[in-house]
Structure 1
Amino acid sequence: MIGSKLSGRYEIQEQIGGGGMALVYKAHDVLLNRNVAVKVLRQQFVHDEEFIRRFRREAQSAASLSHPNVVSIYDVGQEDETHYIVMEYVEGSNLNEVILERAPLQAQEAVHIALQICDALEHAHHHQIIHRDIKPHNILIGKNNRVKVTDFGIARAVTSSTITQTGSVVGSVHYFSPEHAKGVNTGEKSDLYSLGIVLYQMLTGRLPFLGESPISVALKHLQEEFEPPRRVNPHIPQSLENIILRSMRKDPAERYASAEEMIEDLDSCLLPERLHEPKLEFEDDLEATRAMPAIRPGKEPGVPTSTMKTQMMDTQAMNTQTMHTRHGERPLEAREPSTPATPAKKRWVKPVVTIGVTLLVLGLALAAFFYFVDKLDTDEVEVPYVVNKTLAEAQAELEAAGLRIADPIDYEEDPEVEPGIVLRQNKSNMRAKVGTYIQLVVSTGPDMEKMEDFYDKPYEDARAALIALGVDGSRIVAEEVFSEELEAGKVVSQSIPKGEEFNPAEASFSFEVSKGLQPFDMPPLVGKTESEARNELTQLGLLLGPGTGIDYKPSYLPKGQVLEQFPYNPGDKVTRGAEVSLTVSSGLPDDALEYTFNIPISPAEVNGTSEIRIEFSDAKGDNQDYGKRRINSMQNFPVKLVLDPRTEALVSVYRDEIFIRTYHISYDAARSGTAVAEPIESNPPPQEEPPIETVPPEGETPPVIGTPEDPPTTEENGGSGEEGEQNEQ
């Protein structure tokens, strides 16, 4: 089918679902340029009038409904032997997939879904249509969370009296109502019972009744009580459990009277005043003690059958019983024995026997005739055994034998068999007519899962989700990495990308998991200007804080200079986003004194050139460099000082890299203006060399030079006082 075009309009693109009666494909409507879903009757049923009637009934039932929660029917058609229905395409998943993936659902989500299903049923019931097959597989959930009810294949008008087809009971036995299982009239309340089971499954992740065979499950619907949902999931509010208990009563009279009444209850069940309401109590359901009418005499109820043949016999017995009940007769085993009548003359026996024998002979003759005609018309060939061969090999062998492969091919998951290998064939070890269709079942390989996107999710959640799918925890590894975007513990990357299929039994997974931001060394900010510190913090991704992040206080350091940084000292490890506080100088304290100390200095030699260098220490810091200057005459050097009342300033002078003098300037002297520097003059001219001292002859008195009464003048000593001492140095 894929790649073909139905009625020249619907291009079949891919198979998206299927059931026992039909397959569903995604297709494109080239006329209206939109995607649609096309349901196609299976090839093996195209000659079965009963299935064709059911198939057309689905289209008629759904087409008569127009509701946002019911899948719309666009077209119905037949091309050659292909019967199809064109429906609204819902992009998303069905409720069964959601339950398998995420159950138990949150109460709010389950109620949201149940309300929309109930709304669709209320609309269908208003138009006298009973769905009769409400189950998660028939509930589609679009990407906009809009719920759509589909598959009205067994829906019938309210006046219809049976749910049985030839040799089978129509519907899904796990979602049967008790009256549905017995084959009696099913009405609106039967759909509400099925919806109660769907709600039970959404909230607990399990079905209320399970069994080894369809008959045993049907018997449980009739005779057994289900485990209360709150016992399975204690998080379910009592008000919501009450809705399930009421909708799943075995006696229809104890259920909701209508879908509208159930909607009203669902609408208010999560209100705070209802969450802890009392649990609903009912009288014992008499239906629970009745034996299922369809059970044959001598068969013990509740005992599961062991073979398919027994199941079919039980089902046929149930349907036979249903037919009797439908026509107003009592079950055979319940009929009262009639009183024997007086034997009448059996004149009718001979004619009846004669007619019966004649019809039997004619039937055998016709059967023999058609058998031999069929033999003459078509050759027979041996059917090749193609199990365990590839689909291409099987097709080649069957076609070489003159046989055909039934379309569509059935596919089945098998973890032990590679994809594309034939698992089963419906005919083998026998002869068949040329042209006979052989139905093949082909392996799709193991049960594949689609990889979820775990980016920005906790790694432990990702690991738990994979283990829940059957992945061995030893095949899940994680590596910690630094991340600028994600907090510690979140998934940064995954080895299998989102949407890729994997085999849980074999696949291995590796994740990169964030261990937070990468730390770095805190830079030194003390001594920088406020703007420089701000810019550096911004570039590193650090923040000022808390509050404004900056505290201003007086200081002898320049205004705007950073005095302290807190709580991180230079070299401490920090990460982006850390908060740093700064203390910044607001200027000099109120008692600080700014004073200019002038020093007149001459070159070392008169008319010579000298290099003058000055260092000073004051309240702003020690050993500050005033700078250098070359002079060839007396010049004044103004040194700007900042004085603290508790300390004194020092100014040291170097001439031609020779230390000359240090001046001590006190706070009080500067304040009073008495701190004046004495000039530093040129070195005095060199003195005359003293006469050579001669040693007088023995007995003679040495000559006297100068008189001890005359001390040397200040000029002779190279200056006066302290300056002279410096010059001597």
Structure 2
Amino acid sequence: MDTTLTDPIVGHVLDGRYRVESRIARGGMASVYLALDVRLDRTVAVKVMHHTLAEDPQFVRRFIGEARSVASLSHPNVVQVFDQGTDGKHVYLSMEYVPGRTLRDVLRKRGRLPAREALEIVIPVLAALGAAHQAGLVHRDVKPENVLLTDDGRVKVVDFGLARAVEATNQTKTGIMIGTIGYMSPEQVTAGVADSRSDVYAVGIMLFELLTGRQPYEGDTPMSVAYRHVHDSVPVPSAVVGDIAPQLDALVAAATDRDPARRPSDATAMLVAAVEVHRVLPKTPKAGQHAAPVPVSGATMPAQPYSTGQYLAPGHHTPAPANHTMIQPRTDLLTAPPDGPRRGVLKRRSTWFIAGLALLMVAGVALTGWWFSQGRYTKVPDLLNQNITVAKHAAEQQGFIVTVGKARFDDRVEKDMVLESDPVAGTEVDKGARITLIPSAGPETVPVPKVQGLSEADAREAIGKAGLNVGRVSKTASDTVARGLIVKTSPDVGKRVRKNSTVNLVVSAGLLMPDVTQMLRDQAEQFLREKGFNVQIDETADDTPPGTVIAQDPAGGSETVAGANVRLTVSRGPDQGFHWPWENNGDQQANLIDVPDVRFKAVQDAQNELKAAGFKVKTRNLVGTQRVVGEQPLGQQPAGSTIMIWH
């Protein structure tokens, strides 16, 4: 069917930016469209929430917050969120477009996968979830439909935070569970709580399915599957497929333990275990395993790449596909097995009928009272901490005239959220009255003042006048800033920071004499003259190689001034009759190799080059740069000897 004829969003430009080209998926909570970002000229996927959710201000507020959190999550295995916004009645999310197919598509086509191949899909999923868990995010709806395999073989996870946003809706009050029943942890079923260990449980179920070709539990209704998640232990994959390695059985068993405390603490912990299992598995598939690679090339966007089917209201018990996200009552789930007697159900239905009839009578009386009071008054809604645009729209939908006042700074309420309303929430006013919403400007910020070149006392005064506090004070050598004066600040000058936050200071310790001992004479002399010192040379016999600086005056690290005199004592070599250790050893002399000249190279590159040539490396910091300014010894040296570099 041509979606341009049936879907009014197709052809529409959302928010003046995203031109919707076609619909590529539709689920219970949202539809996904292929769109062109006309501002950046790139193809994106736009997820538009269905109107039943978009009209719920609690969902919109939570959706905006979750979108911000997910947008800050940058990981190669996470579908990137670019933007979030509203356009009239449309609440949308702009995301990275991922050509490919879902893991569910692969399972339908392939059935179970070889063990190594299954782990090579699960490991990047765990990496994505691990990054989310470290950022304080929980997915809550991990399943093959939310895992994408791109055309070039990458694995990406989608729909972070959407289940959490749905929890804020008016549809999901106490006693409702949210998720995909085949992958839902026991604590999600019984208490509606989810943390990083709930995601681990879902990955364990998904790994079981990849290894066996089916989910561990099947039932006629979602409730029968949920009951088994709560009361049964997930069987090990080898109980279904006999050639599964014991390490995989142990990994699945640990991830799907009914007690969250006995599971890996988060996805990163399970990732470590999965990588170790992958390392010890044989690389050649065992007999009977499918060896073909996962076919992802040439695929288009899956029929439901961001599938989010759901039950829309409590009381609707019509079965839905087991792998769709569901919003379902938790009542009557745990009192008896779902296959038990039906008599209690019928009795409860009759009780609910009587209760419903009573409620209708009460509602009728209340409606009559309202009618005779002419319905003249209404109460100001509670709009605090909601996005100012969403709150204004919600109030106008209720018939209010809304004025947005001047934003005010506030340390606790985020920018562009409602700080206060006038009249306050709950006040009875005439229908159609005017209310004023004051948005938050977020925490007040001030720029870090310029204090370079000031004394520490003057810098403290300037920072205090700017509304900031001085934090840590450290010292550093400097040949350009006099001792006791400020070299730099952290954060940098001009950067805007929260008022009353701290600024760290770096104070000059003055000019310190560089330590050039053990450096070759020509390198040391050139370095010191470039720094403005007057260099004098004394030579003496010594057992060190000729030309090596063996002493200096003033000593390295002592305070000095620009243009000071420095006397270097240089070795002219040992007296006659001295022999280097390798001169009388033919084998070792034959093992002399050229020392690479790494001067003026980056320190890390220099270290790598010397080590690759067979030498040990020591470094000494002279001026704090990341470039090598001196090297000793040069020429040829025995393999394994130590080379000193200065930077």
TM above 0.5: no
Q: Greater relative contact order (Cα 8 A, min sep 6): structure 1 or 2?
A: 2
> What range describes the TM-score normalised by the shorter chain of this pair?
0.3 to 0.5
Q: TM-score, normalised by structure 1?
A: 0.39
Q: TM-score, normalised by structure 2?
A: 0.43
